Amino acid sequence: MKILVVGNGGREHAIVWKLKKDDPSAQVFCAPGNAGTAAIAENVAVPADDVAALVAWARENRPDFTVVGPEVPLCLGLVDELEAAGFAAFGPVRSAARIEGSKSFAKEVMAAAQVPTARARVVRSEAEARDAVSEFGVPVVLKADGLAAGKGVMVCLSQDDVETALRDLFSDNRFGAAASEVLVEEFLEGEEASILAFVDGETVVPLASAQDHKRLLDADEGPNTGGMGAYSPAPVVTDDMLAVVESQVLRPVVAELSRRGISYKGVLYAGLMLTATGPKVLEFNCRFGDPETQAILPRLATPLLPALQACRAGTLSPDLVAWDPRPAVCVVMVSGGYPGSYRKGIAVEGLDEAATLPDATVFHAGTAKRGGVVTTDGGRVFGVTALGETLKDAVAAAYRAVVKIKFDGAFYRSDIAWRALARKD
């Protein structure tokens, strides 16, 4: 079996790792990959967003199946182009990927499907944004409508935060075309959770719950990031709540897209706020979450590829997905300065030592290999994941591996899974 995985982050390393774990004989390629994927697969020097070059590579190398990891190539229509060229691919087509590519489109779909979500206004100027902020009051959330590498959401807890967000969005044009439209959204209180599901156009099979940690610092302080860690399952998501999310969020959205002539096939990710009045959608993503995937896939007890193939074929069934009962924790290690500016090319030590620890796996997110040495190559550098008999055990195992890994400026949160641990205590 020849499989191409598109992307270069921790999510893609986790996907490659799971595919090879399920079938060591599989020939797996990763485009462009990182130092971690290079150790277990063959990296391909093609950027994830170069649709034409990826299709050309497929024509020459004839993969049996392609798994598209990041949102950008999905929104650019990579799956459409691969399928048109005769290659089987996992992920939503361009029209379906708009559920992440345009937050205003997602709100429109949710409204039509009667999915619970925050009130919002779409604005196109600073003056309109200020008017909407006055309507909703502070705290308030401002979001770039388009893709902004996970950094286009600004939770404003004070008027100073609002001024900074308005400057980033309008005066400094920090997000470019992604902020040609901006959503001003009411602030929701509660606990966040991530629910991912496999979808085959009609059938929806939820995956194990997870909780991400967006803020840079312990106790959920500091700026928003792409994710500082995750754990699965999230105790706050009970079986009853998961059933509510499936019936009131996931299925209605898939049905509404189908009503519009859009068959959603792939992973549908619902980022939720669990409010006092029930779960409400913060955002949808059209792909596996990062770093949630690094906590979820190690718990997947069934092979990954058959489920992905069933999504594409329209033959998805719940029996394709079963879970290891042990919880998993992923701690993200980042470069100094992240989510702002940071250096690249810093040598990493301790990876071999971390690899010897039981139940721990180091997923590379932003790494490269230069002269035989693994170096940093991004803001989020590693996702260190561990399983444990209890959540506390998993946390301890993950941090035992984290402290083995060293590079200049390395930073990580010390409290991943703190909400769940506090709940258990």
Q: What is the pLDDT of residues 39-80, one digit of tens each?
A: 999 999 999 999 999 999 999 999 999 999 999 999 999 999
Same domain for 337 and 401, yes or no, is yes
Name residue 292's beta-bridge partners. none
In a domain, 108, yes or no: no
Three-state secondary structure string covering 245-308 = HHHHHHHHHHHHHHHCCCCCEEEEEEEEEEECCEEEEEEEECCCCCCHHHHHHHHECCCHHHHH
Q: Distance between terminal CA atoms of the chain?
A: 47
In a domain, 101, yes or no: no
In a domain, 100, yes or no: no
In a domain, 172, yes or no: yes
Same domain for 180 and 222, yes or no, is no
- Check: CB of residue 343 under 8 Å from CB of residue 391: no
Residue 354 belongs to a domain with what CATH number? 3.90.600.10
Residue 181 belongs to a domain with what CATH number? 3.30.1490.20
Domain stops at, among 132, 151, 186:
186
Residue 336 identity:
G
Tens digit of pLDDT at every position of the chain (425 positions): 999 999 999 999 999 999 999 999 999 999 999 999 999 999 999 999 999 999 999 999 999 999 999 999 999 999 999 999 999 999 999 999 999 999 999 999 999 999 999 999 999 999 999 999 999 999 999 999 999 877 789 999 999 999 999 999 999 999 999 999 999 999 999 999 999 999 999 999 999 999 999 999 999 999 889 999 999 999 999 999 999 999 999 999 999 999 999 999 999 999 999 999 999 999 999 999 999 999 999 999 999 999 999 999 999 999 999 999 999 999 999 999 999 999 999 999 999 999 999 989 999 999 999 999 999 999 999 999 999 999 999 999 999 999 999 999 999 999 999 999 998 66
Q: Does an H or E element contain 384, and which?
A: strand 380-387
Neighbours of 421 (CB within 10 A): 16
Same domain for 276 and 339, yes or no, is no
In a domain, 114, yes or no: no
Residue 42 belongs to a domain with what CATH number? 3.40.50.20
Residue 247 belongs to a domain with what CATH number? 3.30.470.20
Same domain for 25 and 59, yes or no, is yes
Q: What is the pTM of this model?
A: 0.96
Structural domain count of the chain: 4
Domain stops at, among 280, 297, 320:
320
Same domain for 68 and 125, yes or no, is no
| pLDDT for residue 425 | 62
Same domain for 195 and 316, yes or no, is yes
Q: Containing domain of residue 167, as a range?
A: 120-186
Domain stops at, among 186, 209, 236:
186
> What distance in Å separates the CA atoms of residue 209 and residue 420, rounded to the nearest whole number?
12
- Check: CB of residue 132 under 8 Å from CB of residue 121: yes
Same domain for 195 and 251, yes or no, is yes
In a domain, 259, yes or no: yes
Tokens of 144: 């770039």
Same domain for 289 and 367, yes or no, is no
Q: Cα angle vertex 105, ends 282, 126, to 5°?
A: 80
